Chains A and B, each alone.
Chain A
Amino acid sequence: MDERMLDGNAGAGDLQELFAVEVTQTVGVCEACGMEGPLAEAHVYSLAPGLTLRCRGCEAVLARLVHLPDRTLVELRGLRRLEIVR
């Protein structure tokens, strides 16, 4: 168990600034294994040059986020879809 791993609660601030929706309850579906769950339960690795969100079931990369000095790059390839609670 990697003590440095956090969960989607920790990554929420960054993601929420971009998406303007409540991110921790947003359900993501893993493209690799199909597992569904709130992003709060995803595994977050943020002690790195960027933030990586991984599926708690298969550890596949769901999403990545990098802050450059003048812009933020986001990759969502590992998420088959998002379901945003309204």
Chain B
Amino acid sequence: MADVRAETPRARTLTFDLPGWPGHRAGQHVDVRLTAEDGYRAQRSYSIASPPGASRLELTVERLDDGEVSPWLADEARPGDEIELRGPIGGYFVWEPARGGPLLLVAGGSGLVPLMAIERHRRAVAPEVASTVLVSARGPEDLLYAGELEGAAVVTYTRTRPEGWTGYARRVDEAMLAEAGPPPEARPRCFVCGPTSFVEVVAEALVALGHHRALIKTERFGATGG
């Protein structure tokens, strides 16, 4: 681990030097495995936050209170630590310019991580492809990458809002997706990531609005995934 930086009170981005890393595609993940001195092992999947072509691999990890792995990654890990990674993994939940656009990226909580890799990749290599980033967060202190998304994402806060907030303040639904995102006729490539129930609701809402199921890619994070 080369570097660590805080994103929110509960989340940090970990930066790794990986000589020999074969490169990855935007949206892929790695499996992280930790081993205790008594041999006890725990393994969890984490999406890669850095876009392809970045010089170092970045993971953003949010601490789940009763998690096995995330508390160590989010609180304890420091530069110089070594961990085991397996990957990159995934060919379904990935995007590169050849897959076309526009993009509709819908994130629930830490589901934003792989979508941010996609958005960063788009900005770097295909800025002419339009994208809409719609993020659902519990409150402003939970919004990842707030600075980077400033003015460029549609945010809905489901529990607490900033002072004077005039934006969305409810769970993502059909009306919000219709207002914020491109219409089905634009054939956007939709990527939905977050907790299982979030993904189910949003995917069904997109289908109900007329988006083609084949253009909707989903990735479910477990609440107990940490």
Contact = CB atoms under 8 A, between A and B. Distances in A.
A16 B196 CA distance: 22
What range describes how many residues of A lie at the interface? 20 to 34
A-side binding surface: helix, strand, loop or mixed? mixed
Contacts, number: 69
Nearest to B216: A41
B196 A10 contact: no
A24 B197 contact: no
A40 B86 CA distance: 18
Given A1-B196, A12-B90, A7 B219 contact: yes
A10 B89 CA distance: 9
Contacts of B196: 1-6
B189 to A, nearest CB: 15
Given A1-B196, A1-B200, A7 B91 contact: no
Given A3-B196, A13-B31, A41 B218 contact: yes
19 contacts: A1-B200, A3-B197, A4-B223, A5-B220, A6-B222, A9-B45, A9-B90, A9-B92, A9-B93, A10-B220, A10-B225, A12-B90, A13-B31, A13-B86, A17-B86, A22-B91, A24-B89, A24-B91, A25-B92
